[in-house]
Chain A
Amino acid sequence: MDLFLQQVVNGLSLGGIYALIALGYTMVYGIIELINFAHGDVYTLGTFFSLAILTLLGVTGVVTGPALILVVTVTILGAMILCGLTGVIIERLAYRRLRNAPKLAPLITAIGMSFILENLMQYWKGPSPMSFPKVIPNPTYAAGPISIQAKQIIVIVLAVVLMFALQAFVTRTRLGKAMRATAQDKDAAQLMGININTTIALTFLIGSALAGAAGFVSGVYYESTWFFNGFAAGLKAFTAAVLGGIGNLAGAMLGGFLIGLIEAMTTQFISDQWANVVVFSVLVLVLIFRPSGLLGESLPNKV
């Protein structure tokens, strides 16, 4: 039982990272019905940007006091802005022209973008895994039989805060309303005076910025990274988005935490080499039996 509770904590913190990535998948799918394969790599890019910013700041170890807040804020904002811009550039270069093409075309393009990003990151930092500095002091708190690390709390809190901020943005602001309108019906939205291109670019900006935040957090959490991280993480986060109901922000969050839990439990009680198999089996099973996900509505076939 103690082991189980401990894995709940581990799973939720893993899930926080997946949830942040899943938000980007679900936003982009919600608005242009594209599985943005490159999104997982944008997340890895977030870790790389964070690493570069920390190097610029001269941070190599634990920072304390007011400096910690400054360093974390600068790094996370920097990673979010850079990743957001990357997302916008990818959309502009690769996806926009294909918005009305047969559906397979943008999907294949997205896979190509993913390969390109991975290869560019490999040029940048080399093909082997590298360590990420321990920036945040990481005391361990004991809560009864289980122990919680500070960084686990940070991951979970950050994921939840960003999700609520996003939810508020989408439901309360004019731009958010424009996004929802575009997702529902592009042509009608355009007739209502909404600039479709800007709105879609904004979606990519926000989704990719969240992936950038996830990238920073994952660097802090795993204390290592490499260029190929994004493939498996992206696939799991996509699984999370589908599990929760694609296009649904709260669903992406729920799915992310569930996938984190499933992975942690499999690692603990079966074996870590089966973790990926179990997660991807969940993906296949959800798509077969409940393609609309836990919180999603079922979509009719578009003619």
Chain B
Amino acid sequence: MMRAAPLRSLTAKIPPLGKAAIVFAAAMALPFVHYNGAFTNFLVTAGGFVLLALGLNIVVGYAGLLDLGYAAFFAIGSYSFAMLASPHFGAHGIHLPFWVLLFVASGIAAVFGILLGAPTLRLRGDYLAIVTLGFGEIVPQTFLNLSQWTGGPNGIGTLDKPVIAVAGLFAFKFGFDPLPFYFTVLGLIAFAVWLKSNLRESRLGRAWMAIREDELAAAHMGINTTTTKLAAFAMGASFSGLAGCALAANLQLVSPDQFQFNVSIYVLAMLVLGGMGNIPGVIVGSLILSALDRLILPQGTNFLHGIGLNVDLTSSRFLIYGVILVAMMLFRPEGLIPSGQRKAELHAAEIDKNAAAHEQELYTEAVH
């Protein structure tokens, strides 16, 4: 605490936009720290999951609706892109440009968010969680089963790469180097963060948080809870559409096994670890888990093999997510980097208790 204080007073002088710019510049430079294809690919995937986490954060963190089937929207976004930007349909396939499909895929995902949300959002919190879980099981299974349209277990491959072109002047086609993808994902994240930080203070954002705290009270204050919750679902789903496009285009493949229940929980664990409802927290939580999943555990396994220990750490990843979920909920439910407000809410009981104890002291003093 003592050492953190001067740093905090230093950072406090920088305006929020300046901080964001510094972080963004650092993120731009990140691939060059250790420039190779594998590392950049890791960064693209991690960035895609940051987008997913930011999207789920709207639903879970802001509106307080536990969505356990978020991977379904991710799947819908990815498959929308895959079907419309690949040789999959007809003699030559459909080849719409990536930049258009970003909007199309997130739109389709949002529509599905509304379709699922409209009938289910009036359910109580835990029932909603189960319905979304069921939906999360149905969607990948359906993509698996409808093999004449979706390629079944093999999925859809050889997806188009994005092209940046100015008519007649020049055209840049994304190649094997994932670096342009990284910058694309970074741009999408910047957009998402900008959108979200504006949303949170907006009428809609405050309505979400009111619903999270007390739905009944929010409804009595005149908030239309159904449309507000639907907006959260649609907005969250549309983010996963963006992530789906970017990740599918980079991987050039979609298949049903990329969207299992585990993925939904993986993203949820990112929120729980970082701090639900807080944008920096969500980003940090997401990066920690991505690093753990794709760098630390595989590297650690290699290291252990190197010193003669035949232990596969990667097979423990779900144990680690499980422990994170349980331990965070028990000991630090507000996450590693909470928003001040959320922290206050979650510890309201303790604060009440302290206040009560304080009152009791005053009372005892007064009596004696």
Contact = CB atoms under 8 A, between A and B. Distances in A.
Tell whether A and B belong to one assembly.
yes
A273 B316 CA distance: 29
Interface of A: 33-35, 94, 97-98, 100-109, 111-116, 118-120, 122, 127, 231, 235, 238-239, 242, 273-274, 276-277, 280-281, 283-284, 287-288, 291, 301, 303
Interface in B179-221: 216
7 contacts: A98-B330, A104-B64, A107-B129, A109-B326, A109-B330, A112-B321, A239-B134
Contacts of B227: none
B325 interface: yes
Given A276-B138, A287-B123, A287-B130, 9 more contacts: A101-B329, A102-B333, A105-B333, A112-B326, A115-B318, A115-B321, A122-B315, A283-B131, A284-B135
Interface string B309-353: 000000110110111111001100100000000000010010000
Given A107-B129, A115-B322, A303-B216, A277 B142 contact: yes
Contact of B318 (A119, A281, A287): A119
A48 B68 CA distance: 27
B124 interface: yes
Contacts of B346: 102
A238 B138 contact: no
Contact of A105 (B68, B120, B144, B329): B329
A277 B325 contact: no
Interface in B44-99: 60, 64, 66, 68
A280 B134 contact: yes
B137 interface: yes
B247 interface: no
Interface centre among B60, B126, B134 (most CB of A within 10 A): B134
A44 to B, nearest CB: 14
Nearest to B217: A303
Given A115-B318, A120-B319, A35 B130 contact: yes
A222 to B, nearest CB: 20
B131 A287 contact: yes
What's the dominant secondary structure at chain A's contact region?
Answer: helix
Nearest to B216: A303
B272 interface: yes
B175 interface: no
Contacts of B124: 291, 301
Contacts of A35: 126, 129-130
A105 B325 CA distance: 9
Contacts of A100: 349
Contacts of A277: 137-138, 141-142, 145
B349 to A, nearest CB: 7
Which 6 pairs, one residue from A and one from B, show the smallest C-beta to C-beta distance?
Answer: A112-B325, A115-B322, A119-B319, A116-B322, A112-B326, A280-B134
Contacts of A118: 318, 322
Nearest to B116: A284
A33 B127 CA distance: 11
Contacts of A33: 126
Nearest to A114: B322
A115 B316 CA distance: 10
B216 A276 contact: no
Given A112-B323, A235-B133, A273-B144, A106 B329 contact: yes
Contacts of B133: 235
Interface centre among A101, A109, A120, A301 (most CB of B within 10 A): A109
A107 B329 CA distance: 10
